[in-house]
Chains A and B, each alone.
Chain A
Amino acid sequence: MTIDRKQAPPIVDAVNFHLNLKPCQQFTLQNGVPVYAVDAGAEEVMLLEWVFFAGNSQEEQNLVAATTNFLLRNGTAKRTAFQINEHFEYYGAYLNRSCYNETATITLHCLTKHVAELLPVVKELITESTMPSEELAIYQQNMKQRLKVNLKKSDFVAGRLIDAYLYGEKHPYGKYSSAEEFDALERDQLLHFYNQYYTQGKLILFVAGKLPVNLESLLNQQFGDLPNQAVEVKQTALQPVTQKKFRITNDPNGVQGSIRIARSFPNRHHPDFLKVQVLNALFGGFFGSRLMSNIREDKGYTYGIHSFLHNHIQHSSWMVSTEAGKDVCEATIGEVYKEMKGLRDEPVGEEELLLVRNYLMGSILGDLDGPFQIIGRWKNIVLHGLTEQYFYDSIRTIKTISAEELQALAEKYLQPEEFFELVVI
């Protein structure tokens, strides 16, 4: 039998799929700490995430939140940094911590069979960390060195600057680190911040994987007696800069420019947000997008070009990001604006819109695969103050948004004069 290789096999349009967000069990510990749990998966592994409202919005001096978060693991009343690491590593567990704008987290990945051995030490990190001076000094020195290396990289410099333009240098979303600020850190400030926002602070727990049957009592035993006091997330006004176009020389011998083109955008509660996510996909959100097709696949100016919406809680922005050859940076920027114009001037064709719908649906289907991914969706919903309905609204938007609506959104938001434009070479 010969086959017609020019003829594509029939497909089920992903846009017709019924996608469901796997439900998540919810319960509260004795002290009111909410727990979100997804019990699923074939491997005997689990993930636990402790979310505190201890992000950099809460600090009064730059880097206090991030440093406190980093040093959580570097010494308690009972154990040295080495002993803490050894404990987790002996059980093959990965203990990480991250500091964000509103929140800061401790994350534990472990084999389910070991969780009971690990939770008491996590508790110790939350209640008995000592932030030793010596550990702070090593951190300051090493972070300053790392910063020095990073400042040689155009993409790092561009990333800092564009955020500062968008949100303001004093805003939690826009501020960045300096050697002087690392030097200015004091142990007492860290301990104070630690006590207020971790030991006494507000906590939410997210758990996923193959969960032990006695999960609730395990968690209550260790974390049910934390004070869990209310924390108000501090608000800072946006202070974007007025100048719009920047050209910076970071390395006179550089062969590439880091290009960032970005505008301010409201947060996920705005009625346009979900719709603009579809427009963004079309514009520069996946491999088949207009920016990628034109600037990489047709012109070969770059290895990759992407556009995306920041996943910030208070306020977002819409950004185009790429590294392009030094001599084609300006041409690249010209093409980005040309693609904006194309989206404003012409409604997207049926075929291309279906492609974007199918791609987005397929990628959500793939993203929902596995307990860690599912809890990630739930975490995003909870921390952004949304409900489950948001997930279904986003599916409906992908399925039903029209070419006319997309064009109107392009007309509203893809206006070059609204965008900051930065090249760092």
Chain B
Amino acid sequence: MIHYEKFTLANGLRVIVHQDLSTPMAVMDIMYDVGARDEDPNRTGFAHLFEHLMFGGSVNIPDYDEPLQMAGGENNAYTTNDLTNYYISLPAENLETAFWLESDRMLSLAFGEKSLETQRKVVCEEFKEHYLTKPYGDVWHKMRELAYKVHPYRWMTIGKELSHIETARLEDVKNFFFKHYRPQNAVLVVAGNVTVEKVKALAEKWFGDIPPGEKYIRELPQEPEQQEARRLEIKANVPLDAFYKTWHIGNRLDQKYYITDLITDILSGGGSSRLYQSLVKEQKLFSNIDCSHFGSTENGLLSIEGKLVKGVRIEDAEKAVEAELDKVRNELVSRSELQKVKNKTESMIAFEDMSVMNRANSLAYYEILGDAAWMNFELQKYGMVTAEDIRRESRAIFREENSNTIYYLAEG
């Protein structure tokens, strides 16, 4: 049970305080309710590029990192298709430094041309490092385009193409900031060796006078239900054939999310999971195989991917995957197998909650989803899942007309 207090400033900024006196540190986590899904289809990669620009100085503070390091702090940030998160960890004595820095960049950025120019290059190198130079590095770009025709999940957080980042203008940066980086669209979590009184006073002092801005109303085009199987074959200079298949699944707020999550654990959550045991160990068709899901806020994808053992025909490999899916569609999982994946979830949550930073991050995430209190009911929701649920959901998800398949084949 994670204890916390929540209050809202007059400008709409939600503040959550989670005290843990066992640590000498304080953590500040600011989550903005904006991600790659909120981008213009012709300016993709922008939310993430913007995250980089948040470190290029704010209206009153020319350098973000240096004063924080001087206070003994560290920070980082990440962007997903759904949200953008900034987090700081520093000695609790110096908590006010975090308030000073974060409030100034919520107030306004410096919007320097030089910073934009440099970060454009840095992000292009990041794009190359992660998606262009690695074998199979473009597969998730292709898969998203295959599976989503309308919804903005059809592009990756890094962006659809390098040119979108290369042509970003300062004007776009400003508009994006004032549309999304407003107190009403953010959640501030302060955790660790802090008191509620002190956080209240500091939040008022530093964030209280930031104009609320307009509430961003998200109106994204919804993906129509897929009606027929989609398939794509890619030939590339890779050493091994690889198999990728996805199926549409529901959103994060549905109870079905917990069922789906356990399905992926049954299929590939470790050395005793079904796909690994059957396809890697017994039939020796794959050298590795993984099943996971995007964990996205809106309707997501469940994926199965693996590299084939040299000499195996990819059609045969796919049939073997289908045979395993037949089992979850037709037979009930045993009591002990269901208990196993629930136990695994329980311990995973316990390990995650060891770190104050993770707890702060989870509180912010659930608050953005709807209510920080949900953090404390996750385990209960997993506990409710039955063997019948697993079979019913497997039948609903693993339908050929709901699927997207990529054969990623080695040339020559």
Contacts and interface: CB of A to CB of B under 8 A. Distances in A.
A362 B72 contact: yes
Interface string B228-251: 000000000111100000000000
A264 B165 CA distance: 40
Interface string A46-85: 0000000000000000000000000001000000011011
B296 to A, nearest CB: 24
B369 interface: no
A297 B123 CA distance: 11
B98 to A, nearest CB: 9
A111 B347 CA distance: 6
Interface in A139-154: 141-142, 145-146, 148-149, 151-154
Contact of B354 (A41, A142, A251, A303): A41
A324 B124 CA distance: 10
B390 interface: no
B240 A362 contact: no
Contact of A255 (B22, B128, B309): B128
B387 interface: no
Contact of B309 (A11, A12, A111, A145): A145
A17 B94 CA distance: 12
A81 B281 contact: yes
A237 B110 CA distance: 55
Contacts of A146: 287-288
A349 interface: no
Most buried by B among A109, A296, A362: A362
Interface residues on B, range: 35 or more
Given A9-B100, A365-B24, A296 B71 contact: no
B91 A365 contact: yes
B350 A111 contact: yes
Interface in B1-35: 20, 22-25
Contacts of A420: none
A330 to B, nearest CB: 16
Contacts of A121: none
Interface string B52-86: 00000001110001110111111000000000000
Nearest to B242: A149
B272 A359 contact: no
A311 interface: no
B238 A288 contact: no
A361 B69 CA distance: 10
B215 interface: no
B134 A153 contact: yes
A405 interface: no
A286 B347 contact: no
Contact of B238 (A73, A109, A152, A362): A152
Nearest to B71: A11
Given A41-B354, A145-B307, A287 B69 contact: yes
Interface stretch (A89-97, A228-236, A337-345): A89-97
A188 interface: no
Contacts of B132: 255-256
B136 to A, nearest CB: 8
Contacts of B123: 303
A43 interface: yes
Given A6-B60, A149-B239, A300-B120, A12 B91 contact: yes
Interface in B249-287: 269-272, 277, 280-281, 284, 287
A124 interface: no
Interface string B92-103: 011011011001
A42 B343 contact: no
23 contacts: A8-B61, A9-B96, A13-B72, A44-B350, A85-B270, A86-B272, A86-B340, A89-B271, A110-B347, A141-B309, A145-B310, A152-B135, A153-B133, A255-B133, A256-B129, A287-B65, A287-B69, A297-B118, A323-B125, A359-B72, A362-B73, A365-B72, A369-B25
Given A12-B93, A142-B309, 17 more contacts: A5-B107, A6-B60, A9-B97, A10-B96, A11-B70, A11-B94, A12-B91, A14-B72, A149-B135, A149-B307, A151-B239, A300-B121, A303-B125, A323-B125, A323-B129, A363-B72, A366-B25
